[in-house]
Amino acid sequence: MKGFLVTLIILILGSFSVPWEADEDPLVLIKTDFGNITVEIFASAAPITAANFLRYVDAGLFKGASFYRVVRPDNQPSDAVKIEVIQGGLGFSDEERPFPPIEHETTDKTGILHRDGTISMARDAPGSATSEFFICVGDQPELDFGGRRNPDRQGFAAFGRVVKGMDIVHKVQQQPDDAQMLKQPVKILAIERI
């Protein structure tokens, strides 16, 4: 009887620990020429978008990628709605991506808003996001669902936040650009889970 109770207690406690571990949001380290950026990925709140990003991370596809675009108030003169972000990924080549585009997870569904340090997926139309991502510099509510930055008002799919390294994000954003494209892209040496 005593052995049965011990086994039962272990099974009960084990059932509580498994979901907690499964709900834990992973951390990734973005290694760049300028230093490291640590990002918490909100896998439980944005499962589709987070899983897509982590697929690229786990496959090592961001090795050799770059931050190539910076958006500041001074380099978007014709945009009625101004934002501040740095954008990176595999780039805008016509090469087919190894993974298909993902379903668009709007901020009204996930609850992850575009605040200072939020990481989000770049896209054209809803459902077209693949490998390109951006990090917000300051709060960017116009990138949320209903925001005016995109005519479709669907916003962008946020899926995490910077927990360390915003100084590196600011340094990247201040680099010289030509029409928002960095004159010298900042190399992403790797993005890895930590």
Domain span at residue 79 reads: 24-193
Residue 119 in domain: yes
Residue 167 in domain: yes
Residue 14 in domain: no
Rounded (to 5) percent helix, strand, coil in the chain: 25, 30, 45
- pTM, entire model: 0.88
**pLDDT band at residue 13 using 50, 70 and 90 as cut-offs:** very low
The domain total for the chain is 1
Residue 123 in domain: yes
Query: 73 or 18: whose pLDDT is higher?
Result: 73
Residue 11 in domain: no
Residue 107 in domain: yes
